[in-house]
Amino acid sequence: MKNHYGICYNSEISGYLSIIEKLKNLLNLFNAKYSIYSVEELSPECDFVFVIGGDGTILKTARFYSKLNIPVFGINLGHLGFLSQTSDLGLEKALEKIMNDNYEIENRTMLECGDYTALNDFVIKGVESSRATNFSLEIDDKFVCEYFADGIIISTPTGSTAYGMAAGGPVLYPDADVLEIVPICPHTFSARPIIVPSGAKIKIKGQKYCISADGQEVFESGEDIIINKSKYNAKLVLLSDNDFYSVLRNKLHWSFKPVKEDRK
């Protein structure tokens, strides 16, 4: 059991108040100390954080607490909830496991670009986002190729099931020591995603670009863009019955047989 629990919520997602009350009642049963924070006003005064919201809320919270070495546990109120470990229905069982230290903390690779960090990905596009742009790619100061595309995604294994997958990139196991580079709608069939070691220095050269970190923080760069593995890791709390492959099956509906059509 930890000393001080944080309860982080996203007020823009309906249903958060009932989850807070339920979580408070459960924590009170264990005489646990806790504080409640909005995702807009996160506090370092805790050593374990419950995050109520969707994947976007978890991403923002995990980035903040990664620098403090504090683990986060996601309670899903969003749509997909790929990073969360439970919902309202499973909260009581999940909390019992957590209070009995029956969980794991998984260190997730993060990226850095200047002063910004990302748990999922950095997405790079031209300043005029409605037009295709040229992206000159270098890895470890070696020229690789030029993409003429709508954008380019530099993704961690965690982010491989997000925008990278939607753009045609592969699904990576969360603790794989690699990064993926995925062009968005490239204007040539020969352009393909690339998997590189996590320690690689990725550079995009060419012109002025617009960059987003986890789809949440947006900034512009008029110089070469350099993306490296961050020295910080996001610490996600995982329950033993929520392994990565079961999450793929349940969240992405893998392995379900097609429904036979009734031709009557």
- In order of their start, the domains of the chain are 5-103+239-252 (3.40.50.10330), 111-231 (2.60.200.30)
Q: Which residues are catalytic?
A: 55
> Would you give the distance in Å from CA 213 to the centre of its chain?
10
What parts of the chain have a pLDDT lower than 50?
Answer: 264
pLDDT value, residue 36: 96
Task: Write down the pLDDT at residue 152.
Answer: 96
What pLDDT does 261 receive?
Answer: 56
Q: Which positions ≥6 away from 181 have C-beta within 8 Å?
A: 137, 152, 153, 154, 155, 193, 194, 195, 196, 202
How many residues would you count in the chain?
A: 264
What is residue 243's predicted lDDT score, i.e. its pLDDT? 75
- End-to-end distance of the chain based on CA atoms, in angstroms? 59
Alpha helices per DSSP H over 134-216 = 163-166
What gap in Å lies between CA 262 and CA 139, rounded to an integer? Answer: 53
pLDDT at 173: 93
What are the pLDDT digits (tens) for 182-206?
999 998 888 899 999 999 999 999 7
Stated pTM of the model: 0.89
User: CA separation (Å) from 260 to 65, 104, 263?
Assistant: 48, 40, 9
Q: pLDDT (tens digit, 9 = 90+) per residue, 22-50?
A: 999 999 999 999 999 999 999 999 999 99
Give the pLDDT score at 135: 93
DSSP class per residue in 2-17 = -S-EEEEE-TTSTTHH
